Amino acid sequence: MTARHEQRGRILVITIDRPEKRNAINAEITEGIDRALNELDDTPELWAGVITGTPTMFSAGTDISSRDARATERGGEYGLIRRQRRKPLIAAVEGNALGGGFEIALACDLIVASTTARFGLPEVSRGVIATSGALFRAMRALPINVAREMLIAGTVLDAHRALQLGLVCEVTEPEQACAAAVALAERICEASPHSVQQTLAAINRQLVLEDEAGWEATRIAVEAILASEDMQEGNAAFFEKRRPEWKGR
């Protein structure tokens, strides 16, 4: 399966639908997200979007067995991470949003989660790092010490903790996150779309320099990781289903 989308009034709902692979992102999913978000961006009758997963899983991040989720021209990683959006996008999270899955949620404007939601950044346990915005967006969305703990200790947040910390704006019963996100999008659509878009543009203009610094810091860290023995060991241990033996270099 892929990322499918459907229009509900003035709202475009995008669903990552690859449950057999925990909604891990590959080239097909990336293309589907990119295509849907291009439609949202380019269709005047669409005023807001919702992105969600399947009833028990948002996304486990990049499909490391294929590693073919190339960046798109308009959206960057996953067709979303570096997109210059004008219209509000809400993440509706059921189950795990891990690694790149969490980074997809962080790239949205708002997050709605059900009680089953769990947010985490487990990359360091595999000898790699978060590469799709979490190194700076996590500490923007969360207290810096919480973000740091997630990034270097792999601590996972449940939905209620995420609500307390302000990461998510609403917690629902299981399998109700998408419905609540659509309802929130409908409330947004009661306002002037021009006013909403200009408000988001004003917010995003203030973050441009922070984002540039964040991407440069990410680039430097990624280059160091790509040259490391620990990355090779982490990948080998993952596929061999064993504990890694870290070299520290």
Q: Which residues does the annotation mark as catalytic?
A: 103, 123
Pair 96, 22: CB distance under 8 Å = yes
3-state secondary structure of 75: coil
| Packed helices 229-240 and 208-226: angle between N→C axes, nearest 10 degrees | 80
* Per-residue CA distances from 211 to 21, 196, 202, 206 (Å): 31, 21, 15, 10
The tally of CA atoms less than 13 A away on the side-chain side of residue 93 is 35
Per-position b or e across 7-24, b if 16+ CB within 10 A of its CB: eeebbbbbbbebeebbbb
DSSP state of 71: P
